[in-house]
Amino acid sequence: MREPTDDGAAGVERDRLRYLAEVTECLTQSLDTGTAADQLARLVVPRLADWATVTLLAGDGAPGSSARAHRDPGLLDAVDTYLAGRVTAPRDQSALASALLSGEPVHLTALEPDLGPESLPEGPVRAAWDRLDPRSSLFVPLQARGSGFGVLSLVRCGDRPPAGPDDVALAVEVARRGGLALDNARLFGRQLRVAETLQHSLLTPPPQPAGLELAVRYRAAVSQDLVGGDWYDAFGRPDGATVLVIGDVVGHGVEAAAAMAQLRSAVRTLAYDSPDGPAGTLDRVDRVLAGLHVGTLATALVAHLLPPDGAAPRRVLRWSSAGHLPPLVLDAAGGVRMLATPPERLLGADEPGTRRDHEVVLEPGETLVLVTDGLVEVGRRDIDEGLAAVAEALAGLSRLPADALCDRLLTRVLPDRTDDDVAVLAVRVL
């Protein structure tokens, strides 16, 4: 961080404003709480302190996550040793509590060189304290929306004088901006956890009907703002058919997860005992979405895997797609074919058109694989290229159980960090 360089009051003010603009720009680039806290600690060193920590409280008021920075990277190990091994002194507790409760900074202009064994154990912790040589500290509360949730601690070391009134005022403004950025990240993190919890609660283990082997996988996006509304479902009908569903709600976050919950429930309910085939189910879902003004737009594929007709274990697969990716079939010899059909409108799209059912026979040893676009479009590939990559990854996996097949497929196609959530449903005819 730059030090003031211009001369005169006007120059000092321009430099202060440039610094605050840089703080704001840096802190608004991430919605990850840990990243934002690390960034805040680095932004105040060395301009306002030789050593800084950012402490965020947990929901119950207990100490939560923290970040730290030192102007000398070689002393970070001493900071870590001290922070991990110190016994908080009553004076420090009082200063932190005062900053949080009052909302005002607490400035300790002198720190005793000998804090006593009750607050600073002998050995490595005391040695770390001596290396750091702290002389003054400033505790500035981190607040947003009327409540405090953390503290920015600024420590000056060696012969550096305590912060003056201008530096205290600047630290308060930095903490104000940092508090807003961190609170936004905390709220976004909570929203993300709600979306993930809701999504995972609905993605239940599949049934295992006689003569079939089912496996499912769901992997959430690593990017915080990309958790969306992918889902799968599988259940038995009273007529003996196994219903298979896979879909993807347009959008991300809590809204997409909530829309997915509504849509999954509607599809499940309407498909369970309706005499309609998959296309009829999708038509009825469309009518429900329109009649209740849900406003959800999604791709979905509904399939019925019919029970064997007679002694032959082969199964008839009947499906209809609302703009979803085509099913893939892995045969017993390891070959892959794509069940491509003419595209049809998405669920919730206000467009005319007739949905159609399609049929194919699945032989014993064949595996039906349904996926969402997070698997196909990984690496920003187009759909045709992505489908070809998934088919290539599936090839030769016919000897694996369905669970292992799903794992191997994800390993072959997905990197460690995914840009979108992914759902996979695999069904093998035994």
HSE-CB at 95 with a 13 A cutoff on CA atoms is 20
pLDDT value of position 3: 52
pLDDT value of position 221: 72
Query: Cβ(196)–Cβ(387) under 8 Å?
Result: no
Mean pLDDT by 10 residues, the chain (430 residues): 61 90 86 86 94 80 72 92 70 63 83 55 83 92 84 93 94 92 80 63 81 91 63 93 94 75 90 91 93 89 92 90 97 95 90 89 96 89 93 94 95 79 93
pLDDT value of position 113: 52
Give percent helix, percent strand, percent coil of the chain, each to the nearest 5: 40, 25, 35
What tokens were used for 303? 């399939």
Alpha carbon distance 333, 61 (integer Å) = 60
Residues in the chain, total: 430
HSE-CB at 33 with a 13 A cutoff on CA atoms is 21
pLDDT value of position 61: 47
**What are the strands of the beta sheet with 336-338, ordered from one edge?**
212-219, 422-429, 367-371, 328-330, 336-338
CA distances from 259 to 68, 80, 198, 222, 286 (A): 40, 45, 11, 21, 14
Long-range pairs of 203-208 with CB within 8 A, sequence gap ≥ 24: 203/231, 203/232, 203/423, 206/232, 206/234, 206/425, 207/234, 207/235, 207/236, 207/242
